[in-house]
Amino acid sequence: MSLQTRLFLQFILIGLLPLVIVFLLILFTTQQQFIDRSLASIEGIADIQEEHLNSILDDYITSSRLVGSRTQMRIELDNYLNTSSTQSLEKVDIILTQAIASGTSIESISLYDIQNSLIYSSDSAVAEMVDEDILRSARDQHRLGKVFKDEQNLIKIDTYGPIYNEQGEIIATSRIVSSASPLLKITDDYTGLGETGEILLVQKNASADAVVINPLRFDTGASLQRAIFSSQIEKPTIVAISGTETILKDGKSFDYRGEPVYAVTRYIDSADWGLVVKVDVLEVDSYSDQITTIFSLAFLLTLLAVFAVSFLIAGRISKPITGMINQTEKIANGAFSDEVSNESEIKELAALSDSINRMSRELGGLYEGLDRKVKDRTRSIELEKAKVESILSYVGDGLILLDAKGNVSFINNSATKILGITDHLIQEDFRKVLNFSKIDSDETLLSEDIDRIYLSKSKKRKVVQRKSYLSLSGRKKVACVFTVSDYFVKNKREGVIIIFRDITEELRIDKVKSEFVSLASHQLRTPLSVIRWFSELLISGDSGELNQKQKLYVENIYKSNLRMLDLVNSLLNVARIEANNFIVNPEYVLVREVIDAVISGFKTELDKRGIAIEIQGSDESKIFIDRDIMRVIIENLLSNAIKYSYEKGKIDIIIEEDKKNIYINIRDYGLGIPAKQQSRIFEKLFRADNASEHDTDGNGLGLYIIKGIIEQIDGEIKFSSKEGDGTTFIVRLSKDGIKKKEGSKKII
């Protein structure tokens, strides 16, 4: 539902409900008031007319009094009654004729004696129509008689009154007939009574409960003709004649026509008449209906006005908002140029429109700047990306990028060259498509290492370097050396980089080398063995005794042959160490045991040269090491110490240990190493000058070999020396750090 519709409906709802209530209230009160007013106006008319009637009736009675009080007339009449003097009667006639002439409405005067016999009448036609009951009742006072019709059907009213003689005795009763027109003037006056209003005068009647005196608006012949009975539904007249003055406003009273009427009843005491002023309910209601119609029209107009105003206001409120919505929509779509109208009459909306326009302009500016920056940035990123991609694509090493989940996201050309077709790998889980298998059986499977990297919660970069076979399904295994590392962006692991290089050729060369060493060891040693054994045969006299000289020569051959064997063995050791291809088969070894064994090997020489060896330190020191390696190290160092000691010299061997390491110190007090040459003593084939002079046996390989071995098993060798004072070598070996290692050759 749109804002305008919603506002419109809300306004309507808010406006309509009170409007309806107010209208209904006003309508009902107005209708009621109108009826009340109508009734009040009828009542007013009734009161005024009642007063009029009373005053007219008073006039009639006054006229009767005036006639009866004429002294001359009374004297003459008294005289006539006593004397029957016609003269007196004539005088009475003259006086009464004068009275008729002077009175406004008196039409005739009749006089009756106390026996009710007619004495005199100015109109003999009327004289007979006398009511003797009234005549009798009028002896005490003047009173109204009856309304009646004469021969010409004119409505008359008569008044009766006593006539006294000079002595105050009643002598006669007068009957004055007057025109009823003053009365009828009142009842004919419908002013203020609308179209249906009427005034009814009723008097009592012997044959009926009441009879209508005046001609009626809707029944002009009703005068003295229409009789009304209390049994009839015509209530108001009956109420009036019964002397009740009231307002009949329930709408359930009916008039002579049977119409429902509102009526006001009055009782005219002096004449014993009833007065009814009435108006048709229909007429009053028709006015009230008109009011209802007018109100309804007004209501409809107001409603229309409310609709229109609601519509306009809703429009005024919603239009700028709709405008702003459109504008923000445009802003959202990146169009900042248009402006929304800020001409709303609602201050806040205008201010809001202004704000939106300002925001739009500023956003527009920002957007333009941003757009330019983004474009620049995008271009430099694209350049950078192109650079990186071309580097990655053509770099010699194979490269596979895995995303944060382990799916392959990039493979470079070198990887494709190494592995074969790799197109199908993109977006695949590396666990499914990259098959790793071990080269070194000791190592863990590379795929498991990569999985460990993914499982690690550490934010530190992890690097695994490993030789491993890699194959894609259906393709042959390729031996590679891998560097696998995860990479982070803002502390979040974004993936893993696998860099690898095909080492098939290297492995092949290693194998060839190893085979060469193996072959060389055999081929070189075989002739040496032949020389050795034949020398032995000769020396031992197996083929006859040799003379002294011959024996000396053969012994020299034999010794040189042993040196040659030693040299060959050293060279083979060098080859193995350089290829890192020697067996390590560690076990717990008592350091002292190895040292003792080596010393006993040198026993002949030590005895010959009178060199003493002193050993200090624990007999219990143990180390987890390959026994042969340990032997080679001690043998080399002790051999040097003996070689470079003076005759009858001394050698100290000190074994020390701490928690992790064993330290073997071998100290001689011999030649020492010239300071200048100390830095070179671990070089291959290097011999210090004084050493070469002293002894021609050395081959310059011993220290090179043991340093190589010691470093490859995570140990350390140091020395201190002073020419002439001797040399101390210190070997540090980890007690338990040495690992088993497969290789093809043993160190000899």
Partner 1 sequence: MIYRVLVIEDEEPLQVAIQEKLENEDFEVTVVDNALDALDAVKNEVFNVIWLDHYLRGRHDGLFFVNSVKKLGLFPTPMLLVSNTADTQKVQEYKDAGVAEAYIKNETSIDEVVQKLTLLKNNEKNTHS
Residues near partner 1 (CB under 8 A): 518, 521-522, 525-526, 528-530, 532-534, 536-537, 540, 542-543, 565, 572, 583, 585, 744-746, 748
Q: Which residue lies nearer to partner 1 by CB, 407 or 561?
A: 561
CB 162 within 8 A of CB 71: no
- Residue 627 CB neighbours (<10 A): 15
User: What are the residues facing 203 on neighbouring strands?
Assistant: 211, 273
Q: Which residue lies nearer to partner 1 by CB, 185 or 563?
A: 563
What is the smallest separation between the CB atom of 447 and partner 1, expressed in angstroms?
Answer: 29
What is the smallest separation between the CB atom of 566 and partner 1, expressed in angstroms?
Answer: 9
Q: If you ran DSSP here, which 8-state letter would residue 602 be given?
A: T
Type of residue at 460: K
Query: What's the token pair of residue 304?
Result: 């229309």
What is the smallest separation between the CB atom of 711 and partner 1, expressed in angstroms?
Answer: 22
What is the smallest separation between the CB atom of 543 and partner 1, expressed in angstroms?
Answer: 7
Q: Which residue lies nearer to partner 1 by CB, 522 or 722?
A: 522
What is the smallest separation between the CB atom of 575 and partner 1, expressed in angstroms?
Answer: 12
User: What are the residues facing 719 on neighbouring strands?
Assistant: 729
Q: Which residue lies nearer to partner 1 by CB, 622 or 746?
A: 746
Q: Which residue lies nearer to partner 1 by CB, 41 or 744?
A: 744
Q: Which residue lies nearer to partner 1 by CB, 386 or 530?
A: 530
What is the smallest separation between the CB atom of 533 and partner 1, expressed in angstroms?
Answer: 4
What is the smallest separation between the CB atom of 521 and partner 1, expressed in angstroms?
Answer: 6
What pairing do the DSSP bridges indicate for beta strands 650-657 and 612-616?
parallel
For the chain, the distance separating the N- and C-terminal CA atoms, rounded to the nearest angstrom, is 97
Q: Which residue lies nearer to partner 1 by CB, 306 or 557?
A: 557
| Residue 126 backbone dihedrals phi, psi, to 5 degrees | -85, -30
Residue 713 and residue 577: Cα distance in Å, rounded?
11
Q: Which residue lies nearer to partner 1 by CB, 533 or 588?
A: 533
Q: Which residue lies nearer to partner 1 by CB, 429 or 536?
A: 536
What is the smallest separation between the CB atom of 400 and partner 1, expressed in angstroms?
Answer: 36
Query: What's the token pair of residue 682?
Result: 């671990």
Q: Burial, 527: exposed, middle or buried (Cβ in 10 Å; 0-12, 13-18, 19+)?
A: exposed
What is the smallest separation between the CB atom of 535 and partner 1, expressed in angstroms?
Answer: 10
Residue 111's closest CA among 103, 102, 120?
A: 120
Number of H helices, E strands in the chain: 19, 24
What is the smallest separation between the CB atom of 744 and partner 1, expressed in angstroms?
Answer: 6
Element (H, E) at 696: none
Residue 513 and residue 501: Cα distance in Å, rounded?
20
Q: Which stretches of 191-282 are assigned E, i.e. beta strand?
A: 198-203, 210-212, 227-228, 247-254, 260-268, 273-280
Residue 214 and residue 223: Cα distance in Å, rounded?
5
What is the smallest separation between the CB atom of 525 and partner 1, expressed in angstroms?
Answer: 4
Q: Which residue lies nearer to partner 1 by CB, 542 or 607?
A: 542
Query: What's the token pair of residue 506?
Result: 């290297």
Q: Which residue lies nearer to partner 1 by CB, 9 or 579?
A: 579
What is the smallest separation between the CB atom of 527 and partner 1, expressed in angstroms?
Answer: 8
Residue 470 and residue 94: Cα distance in Å, rounded?
168
Residue 700 and residue 577: Cα distance in Å, rounded?
15
Type of residue at 697: D
Q: Which residue lies nearer to partner 1 by CB, 363 or 571?
A: 571
Q: Burial, 726: exposed, middle or buried (Cβ in 10 Å; 0-12, 13-18, 19+)?
A: buried
What is the smallest separation between the CB atom of 432 and partner 1, expressed in angstroms?
Answer: 37
Sign of CA dihedral 446, 447, 448, 452: positive
Residue found by looking up tokens 């009916």 in the block: 254
Q: Which residue lies nearer to partner 1 by CB, 543 or 548?
A: 543
CB 73 within 8 A of CB 166: no
Residue 39's closest CA among 243, 248, 283?
A: 248
What is the smallest separation between the CB atom of 714 and partner 1, expressed in angstroms?
Answer: 22
Write the DSSP string, 538-565. Answer: HHTTTTSPPPHHHHHHHHHHHHHHHHHH
Sign of CA dihedral 717, 722, 724, 728: negative
Q: Which residue lies nearer to partner 1 by CB, 207 or 543?
A: 543
